[in-house]
Structure 1
Amino acid sequence: MKRAFLFYSILLVAGFETFAQSNKNTLWYKQPASNWNEALPVGNGRLGAMVFGNPEHELLQLNEESVWAGAKVNANNPKALQYLPEIQKAIFDNKFKQADSLAQLYMVGTPSRVRSYQPLGDLKLDFQWNTKPENYTRSLNIQTGISTTKYSINGNPISQQVLVSAPDNCVFYRIEGGKNALITTTISLSREKDVKVKAYPDGRIEMEGQIIDGVSDKDNSNGPAGAHMKFAAEARVKLQKGTFEVSGSNLIIRNAEVVEIVLTGATDYSLAKLDFDRSISPIASCKAILNKVKNSDIILRHTAEHRAMFDRVNLDFGADSLAKYPTDVRLNLMKQGKLDNGLIALYFQYGRYLLMGSSRKPGVLPANLQGIWNKEMDAPWNSDFHTNINLQMNYWPAEICNLSETSEVLADFMQQITIPGAATAKESYGTKGWTMHHLTDPFGRTSICDGTWGMTPTNGAWMALPVYEHYLFSGDKKYLKTTAYPILKGACEFLMGFLTLSPEGYLVTNPSTSPENRFKLPNSNETSTLTYAATIDIQTINAAFDYCIEAAGILGIDADFIATIKAAQKKLPPVKISSSGTIQEWINDYEETEIGHRHISHLLGLYPLSQINPETPEFFEAAKKTITRRLSQKGGGTGWSRAWIINFYARLLDGDKVYENINVLLSKSTLNNLFDPHPPFQIDGNFGGTAGIAEMLLQSTNGTVRLLPALPGAIPNGQMNGLVARGGFVVDLDWKNGELINVTIVSRQGNPLKLNYNGKSADFKTSKGGKYTLSKDLVLIR
């Protein structure tokens, strides 16, 4: 045991002395977090903690992915199918106000809202030092996934580490003072409400609870009240030297050289049921996890497993002269107009780190609006799974950034969602297949929520697209057959039943919206969100049909069904260019009520899809005008919207605009801990920004892998290793003075490869596992 303590001490000191100078993957600060938006996140996909780094009153705010208010309920409006034809007719007749009133009464879900994701609780340590701490620094090494706090007491060094281990499925806390700085502290585990806490003289603290949902309003639109999710947490404290003492529900530690805490949490949630499973005991689950933990090598196991994922990708934008400054200082300098390519590279890797921390095994739920980190009982937008851009954006970096297993969590969740989604398709629309609308929760809500602006019946098809994308990158035919294709086919079955004939003779969606946006009716003061065949629907349907046709061909199945899809696809309305020269957002050339709206849904075909590309020059130019028009009216005001714009400009091959908007994202939509605010904090901007930085270096669309397609002039030199292209190609790049030096590609699947760089092309066969190095002229070197 003493050897382990000595090893950790050496590791801490050696690592800390060099992090600020040499570790480009470290966030660091010279003061504790003064609020939650300055705390540092650690997570393992199931458990999360925000570390404040306060040397006198330390706080770890804790989360467990399934601690949600609410309950499973069939919220499909029982009158939806009866009134659907009347609503559709009103929309076709341009009687939008009538359609909206009917839809609000007879299609919006009952209940119409969901309840919130909630925190697990707080772990607090109140220290009793005999003098004020000095020489303070705190850091988060995203390469190792360890948050470190260091300071001195009377000249004696104190070292604190916090991590959340995936192999051991627990939070691990360690503080070392040594013989000359003995630790006396009160340790507590607490939660704002709905819990009972008990401390034990052997160093355990147990917290058990059950969320009690009250009546939220007079019609209880958030769902039924009552005793719902059960949860628990347990902390186990170990000491080197020192003593325990129980004081109420707290533990008092006196005169310890080292204090270690292992903590885990659990609920009685079951993904397979999308519901509680009362046969699960949360406290028993905690004990089963902690009984397996061996403190002696927990850091080694965690670091090895974490780095095995993180180190797949390296990004270097040249000399980093500002690394000597703390992260918050660097960010403030950027807000003052200072360019900081090193901070951009750190931000990119931080997005990968956050995705690892909020969507991976041992977790079973995808990253929500705040990833996994939330301090509020009633979080902004309930911190739910928002599916009209936000959940999709969370997974934009998953495949290209070599974190493919993070998207498998999403796919597993979507498999379960198809079950209530099938009920919604049948009960609300009278169709086969499955669908969902603009949000969901762990209980599988797929009905229309939040009023008629949540009437987005093609969101099921939209969510099927990233599930299929995992196959395009991985080439896993078993996954295609058992997971991706059934989800995709079910979404297309719904679309085939939902599409209806429009007055113009097209097959269209009705009702339809362009997410959260409204238009003005000609010669009227009336506005509407409802329409038919919004452009995003047509782009989504075309992509879903194309993917389904491709997947069925690979599997050699469903020829008759595919024939009906192909016939229907020919009858879809075309995407149009409006009178302003932009991509038209609705079926008719309506005027927006808000030109600078945060959603730019009619450019889904540009990114993440690739229907708009240089080979469609008229639409390519119209897409540029669409973004220019949005930005001219203060568009991109939210973090995630600005992140989307970065990806748009990458696809438009405009590196300088990419760079300009990355700088806007960092200077206007980034908090001191590098979290992205909507505002407030919403993690999709982090993920979208990371995807955009990757997209400027590597693109793989329409059968071609493009190298440095949108390299900014402000990043003339750099190196990238480990990004992944569709078809299963792992790419390493070096560039200097704005030009490619060489590229090395490893072919995971042995697919044919078509490369493009700066107008030059190369097309050759590869073998599985083959490694290929090419010059800047794309000539094969070896």
Structure 2
Amino acid sequence: MKKFLVLLLLSTNAAIAQQPMQLWYKQPARRWEEALPVGNGRMGAMVYGRPEKEILQVNEESVWAGIKFNDANPNAYKVLDTIRKLIFEGKNQEALTIANANFLAVDAENSNKTARAFRSYQTLMNVNIDYGVTAYDDYKRSLNLETGIAATTFKVNGVEYKQEVLASAPDNVIVVQISTSKPGSLNATFSIDRPNIRDTASRFTDCKVTAAGNNQLILNGQINDRNGKEDHGPEGLHMKFAGMLQVANTGGTKTAGGQAIQVKNANSVTLYIQGATNYNYTKQDFEDAVSALNKCKKLMQAAAARSYAAISTRHIQDLKPVMERVSLEINGQHADDIPTDERLQRTKQGIEDPHLISLFFQYGRYLLVSSSRAPGVLPANLQGIWNQHMDAPWNADFHTNINLQMNYWPAEVTNISFTTTPLFDFMDYIRPQGRITAKKMYNARGWVVHHCTDAFGKTGVQNGVAWGTFPMAASWMCLHFWEHFAFTLDYTFLKNKAYPIMKEHALFVEDYLVKSPEGFLVTSPGSSPENQFVHPVTGKPTGLTYGPTMDNQILREFLSKCIAAAKALRTDSAEVVRWEGIIAQLPPTKTGKDGRILEWMQEYQEVEPGHRHISHLFGLHPGTQITEQTPALYEGALRTLTGRLAKGGGHTGWSRAWIINFYARLKQADSVRSHLQALFAKSTLPNLFDNHPPFQIDGNFGGTAGIAEALLQSHGDYVELLPAVPAAWSSGKIKGLCARGGFILDISWENGTLSGVKVRSTTGRNLVLKYRQHLLPLTVERGKEVVVPVDQLL
């Protein structure tokens, strides 16, 4: 039987055509949203692929405006009891007025001056290549997701030009190789600049470009922060940054003049692109005594000692095995021979392209690997690592009321668990500021962060009280630590990293919760992220409240995982009893008169019935409280989605991605399909970046996670196979998806029915497989794999 099943699995795999992992286009990028991304975790570049005047827009992860200071408002605790009393009495507007004056972030080191919003992540520089070309043909540009190489080819008077760009993690550099088919025919001028290099009415010059010898250009500067209409904290010279371009040619001549390097009659040119700042990620601060330029020079010296061939080989050997861990192939008519932007346009017109779904899935994996890994130290922000702005939309910050969390939804399940390291380190290093904020604002133990933060680890209430009062962000972030353990069963990680962070935040939870008029333990003040309801007495919109459903669901999930962690480590029995007592006193998730799940403690009228956040379904996804075992809530979740969508919900990219995950958990396969199509049609840019709008990368990551969720789920007591595969994906295979418990699965299906399963175990744990209504207990020894008798699941 096992031999037969192996043959069946192989034959099924062979029946489905290999699907290319490549984005490609017939024309250069006209705008940033059409350029192609490369990244090594620390540095990223957007490659335009322009034969006339090429642009590589370059980022370094730590180029942040602003300065480190604790932004917690010390007045908050003085008025906390008053605010809670007013909220409990239904005087929400009065509570909000007091909170607005006392909760919003301040600079305590500068006479408690308001600093209601921190500053932005910034671009580092542009690398410009002037090929002197006015006419060309046979053009193509592409991004290979397996090799991470963005290639551009074109011909000029019969001579082929080829440009390759990659961002190497092993060699910690961005490198460009340019060659032509005719020796001695390569002529180009190279320069670097920064968007605000010249004085403007609102900005001051913060850097300068100089040539070093005839082969290097150096950009050296320091961010000069100024306040406009709003106070964003202290002004002045802050983060130091540097960028370098080194030009190496074979054949021909090379000269430097002014702020450019010109190469004539060369056979090929290699560009080494480097950047650095004086940021110290363990301190979440910059260090005035550190020279960003010296750091940059050392990095350049190390990288430029290697040839392009050597760097490229090491880069591919590093990236390709990671990308090949998982493969997804879906049957159906494909359009792989059509440029990616044209395929996307066809999809927007209603033409389905299953291979585009596979490409989008792998693109999400590629983007997370490229923006969250060593040598980088910061997690992926709202734009991953790719940002062309000086003042980015939402500052390209770390948004913790869903967006940062969504960035990492695909990390464990799609077999790139290592990408979580920068996230976990970042949350660990943020704790000192979180402790100060917990004490200042709430007189609480433990640590906290609210709805967003920056590279300096700010933890206060930013942007606005109604939006920013979300201390459960920390509870939600802690769940990612547990998820990493759940997938890997790494007890060392649980003991030394995850549990101490979770346990310390649980102290904050214990101190923050208060008794509601109904007798529950509730958060107060709190909010349901970024939504409002109509006050039943005043008729005015309000968001500040107590015990919103999302808070209760997050807390139930978080404390349950704290209990599970303590039991796994056989420690803190007293804490377990205390946490169990808290869970018993949390408000239950309830449904309203129409069967929908209530977003707040009462059945309020919604200000925006089609709001982008669907926070009260946290318990469905990513939480685990709303399942088929809770039928009333399961049906209520479906009604909630139907109602929200009927009023225009899902109109942002990340929201649509979340909806895909919701429907996957609800086993609504046709809805998974339709909302993937909607994600492509309404919220995907020509380079397949997610469009909020504008560009925001969480929709890419959430979309990838949603596709995985349709193929495999392991959040319950079993590992469920193909729980929400659309009928349109009638045959296909997925290789390398991970399940909780330390399992890696290969799954194939034909004509809508499971046809092959292979399970590998990294832990030696038992598991139960579920397919439709069939359950199959299975034992897989550690380090071994088994081919599952599929007939026992049919």
| TM-score w.r.t. length of structure 2 | 0.94
1:362 corresponds in structure 2 to: 375
1:291 corresponds in structure 2 to: 301
| Match 1:174 to one of 169, 173, 177 | 177
Distance 2:521 2:535 in 1: 23
1:51 corresponds in structure 2 to: 47
| Match 2:715 to one of 687, 701, 709 | 701
| Match 1:100 to one of 96, 113, 126 | 96
1:145 corresponds in structure 2 to: 148
Shift of 1:216: 2.5
Shift of 1:308: 2.0
Distance 1:687 1:673 in 2: 15
2:227 corresponds in structure 1 to: 215
Conserved 8 A contact 2:53-2:132: no
1:74 aligns with 2:77: no
Conserved 8 A contact 2:214-2:261: no
2:340 corresponds in structure 1 to: 327
Distance 1:431 1:448 in 2: 16
Shift of 1:291: 2.0
- Ranges in structure 1 where 5+ consecutive residues have no aligned partner: 1-20
Conserved 8 A contact 2:409-2:701: yes
SS in 2 for 1:90: helix
Distance 1:181 1:731 in 2: 52
Q: Which moved more, 1:371-380 or 1:107-116?
A: 107-116
SS in 2 for 1:504: coil
| Match 1:443 to one of 456, 464, 472 | 456
1:412 corresponds in structure 2 to: 425
Shift of 1:418: 1.4
Shift of 1:450: 1.0
Distance 1:310 1:619 in 2: 38
1:722 aligns with 2:732: no
1:154 corresponds in structure 2 to: 157
SS in 2 for 1:291: helix
1:503 corresponds in structure 2 to: 517
Distance 2:256 2:283 in 1: 40
Q: Which moved more, 1:34-43 or 1:313-322?
A: 313-322
1:134 corresponds in structure 2 to: 137
Shift of 1:441: 0.4
1:252 aligns with 2:248: no
Report % sequence identity: 47
1:493 aligns with 2:507: yes
| Match 1:378 to one of 368, 384, 391 | 391
Distance 2:475 2:174 in 1: 37
Conserved 8 A contact 1:646-1:692: yes
Distance 1:703 1:504 in 2: 33
Distance 1:764 1:775 in 2: 10
Conserved 8 A contact 2:184-2:251: no
Q: Which amino acid aligns with 1:77?
A: N
Report matched runs for 1:583-732 at 5 Å. Answer: 583-732=597-746
Q: Which amino acid aligns with 1:606?
A: L
Conserved 8 A contact 1:398-1:407: yes
2:126 corresponds in structure 1 to: 122
Cα deviation code 1:434-481 (max 9, x no counterpart): 111000001011001111121111111111111221111111111111
1:61 aligns with 2:57: yes
1:206 aligns with 2:218: yes
Alpha-carbon RMSD: 1.3
2:760 corresponds in structure 1 to: 746
Distance 1:319 1:335 in 2: 18
Distance 1:247 1:85 in 2: 67
Conserved 8 A contact 2:223-2:240: yes
Distance 1:594 1:192 in 2: 38
SS in 2 for 1:301: helix
Q: Which amino acid aligns with 2:671?
A: K
Report matched runs for 1:214-253 at 5 Å. Answer: 214-217=226-229, 220-253=230-263
Conserved 8 A contact 2:332-2:353: no
2:550 corresponds in structure 1 to: 536
Q: Which amino acid aligns with 1:187?
A: F
**Cα–Cα, structure 1 residues 614 and 338, in superposed 2: closer, same or farther, change >3 Å?**
same
| Match 1:391 to one of 390, 404, 408 | 404
Distance 2:18 2:553 in 1: 46
Aligned residues: 757
| Match 1:457 to one of 449, 467, 471 | 471
Distance 1:277 1:762 in 2: 57
Q: Which amino acid aligns with 2:417?
A: S
Distance 2:627 2:586 in 1: 20
Shift of 1:244: 1.2
| Match 2:562 to one of 548, 552, 564 | 548
Conserved 8 A contact 1:760-1:777: no
1:424 corresponds in structure 2 to: 437
Cα deviation code 1:73-98 (max 9, x no counterpart): 11111211111000000000000110
SS in 2 for 1:467: helix
Distance 1:383 1:333 in 2: 31
SS in 2 for 1:645: helix
1:185 aligns with 2:188: yes
Conserved 8 A contact 1:156-1:180: no
SS in 2 for 1:292: helix
Shift of 1:554: 1.0
Cα deviation code 1:673-701 (max 9, x no counterpart): 00011000000000000000000000001
SS in 2 for 1:480: helix
Q: Which amino acid aligns with 2:710?
A: M
Distance 2:334 2:458 in 1: 49
Conserved 8 A contact 2:557-2:624: no
Q: Which amino acid aligns with 1:112?
A: R
Q: Which amino acid aligns with 2:264?
A: R
Conserved 8 A contact 1:410-1:467: no
Conserved 8 A contact 1:640-1:685: yes
- Ranges in structure 2 where 5+ consecutive residues have no aligned partner: 1-16, 107-114, 197-205
Shift of 1:764: 2.6
1:9 corresponds in structure 2 to: none
- Answer 1 or 2: higher relative contact order, Cα 8 Å, separation at least 6: 2
SS in 2 for 1:188: strand
**Cα–Cα, structure 1 residues 197 and 23, in superposed 2: closer, same or farther, change >3 Å?**
farther
Distance 1:504 1:47 in 2: 52
Distance 1:181 1:240 in 2: 9
Cα deviation code 1:595-631 (max 9, x no counterpart): 0000000000000111100010000000000000000
Shift of 1:23: 5.9
Conserved 8 A contact 2:433-2:459: yes
Conserved 8 A contact 1:29-1:327: yes
1:268 aligns with 2:278: yes
1:578 corresponds in structure 2 to: 592
Distance 2:333 2:693 in 1: 29
Shift of 1:648: 0.2
SS in 2 for 1:599: coil
Distance 2:18 2:507 in 1: 54
Cα deviation code 1:474-507 (max 9, x no counterpart): 1111111111111111221110000101111111
SS in 1 for 2:744: strand
Q: Which amino acid aligns with 1:207?
A: L
2:5 corresponds in structure 1 to: none
Q: Which amino acid aligns with 1:144?
A: T
Q: Which amino acid aligns with 1:299?
A: S
Distance 2:212 2:468 in 1: 49
